[in-house]
Amino acid sequence: MAVTDTQIEYLEDMATHIREDIIIMLEKAGSGHSAGSLGTADIFSTLYFHIMKHDPKNPDWDERDKFVLSNAHICPVLYATLAEAGYYPKKEITTLRKLGSRLQGHPHRGALPGLEASGGPLAQGISIAAGMAIAANINKKRTKVYCMVGDGEMNEGQIWEALMFIGKNRLHNFTLIVDRNNIQIDGFTEDVMPLEPLKDKLSSFGFHVIEVDGHNIRRLIEAFEETIFEKPKVLLAHTIPGKGVDFMEFKPEWHGKPPNKEEAEKAISELEELRSLGGKITCEHE
């Protein structure tokens, strides 16, 4: 079914709300990861408000689709999305990383409705997600499993072991999203540990790979909905780290840095202006 302009505008606006929540959370916490969280907001908006089958009022619904955040340090975007979706009270977002908070620096399964897996050690999430996908197939469930990894995270050997397993078992209910933002904590990915030709590498493991502008919601929807039989799918999503906040964009130093009060106010002002212009932001990849 074709997506309407009204639906696209709603998802773009929701992505801006998510970005604003992220800035508020990080400034209050005084620590956390800005760049990747902001850069993936359009993907999260698309997944949780259009693509995935889930129910915030029944988070353990047996027929739900599942999402695993393997690069779990960007959990502010996941927490903000779950709050906007109604999984928990939005007022809680200001407790990020506080003692006793349900919103810790990495997700903890069971602490918050909607969290499918605990995170922390890089690369473990993709293996957890692979287990969920093969279990769904064994149990003849229609569950779809989505997993996000960061491109810097792909330096980990466990990523490639999991890719071998997923490809070998032809987990057609598994979709991997690679946040290809080209930065990691030590700098630009191609300087730290080159990944290219990444599309060819992923294809060689038995995946159907779709390169997509990670800020073009219409294209994201088309990519998520593209039907591929007997093959797992990868969305190689080209994103801009820090997207929506001009002074953070494409700057590796914002990988693990929160805004201070003045920077947060400036960021919120930019995002409010973005909303007044319709909320549409794109990556120049396509």
Residue of 282, 256, 197, 264 lying closest to 73 (CA atoms): 256
Report the half-sphere exposure of 270 (CA within 13 A, side-chain side).
18
CA distance 251 to 227: 36
Question: Phi first, then psi: what are they for 226, rounded to 5°?
Answer: -60, 125
Q: Which amino acid is present at 112? A: L
| Whole-number Å distance between alpha carbons of 50 and 157 | 33
Which pLDDT value is given to residue 286?
Answer: 40
Q: What CATH number has the domain spanning 5-276?
A: 3.40.50.970
Residue 66: its pLDDT value, please? Answer: 98
Q: What type of residue sits at position 277?
A: L
Residues with Cβ within 8 Å of 154's Cβ and at least 6 positions away in sequence, in order, are 160, 178, 195, 198
Contacts of 33 (CB under 8 A, 6+ apart): 26, 73, 74, 76, 255, 256, 257
pLDDT score, position 278: 65
Q: What are the extents of the domains in the chain?
A: 5-276
Residue 268: in which H helix or E strand, if any?
helix 261-276
pLDDT in tens, the chain (286 residues): 689 999 999 999 999 999 999 999 999 999 999 999 999 999 999 999 999 999 999 999 999 999 999 999 999 999 999 999 999 999 999 999 999 999 999 999 999 999 999 999 999 999 999 999 999 999 999 999 999 999 999 999 999 999 999 999 999 999 999 999 999 999 999 999 999 999 999 999 999 999 999 999 999 999 999 988 789 999 999 999 999 999 999 999 999 999 999 999 999 999 998 877 765 544 444 4
* Contact indicator for 234, 171 with CB cutoff of 8 Å: no
Predicted TM-score (pTM) of the model is 0.95
149, β-bridge pairs: 178
- For the residues of 100-129, what is the DSSP string, one character each? T-SS-SS--BTTBTT--S---STTHHHHHH
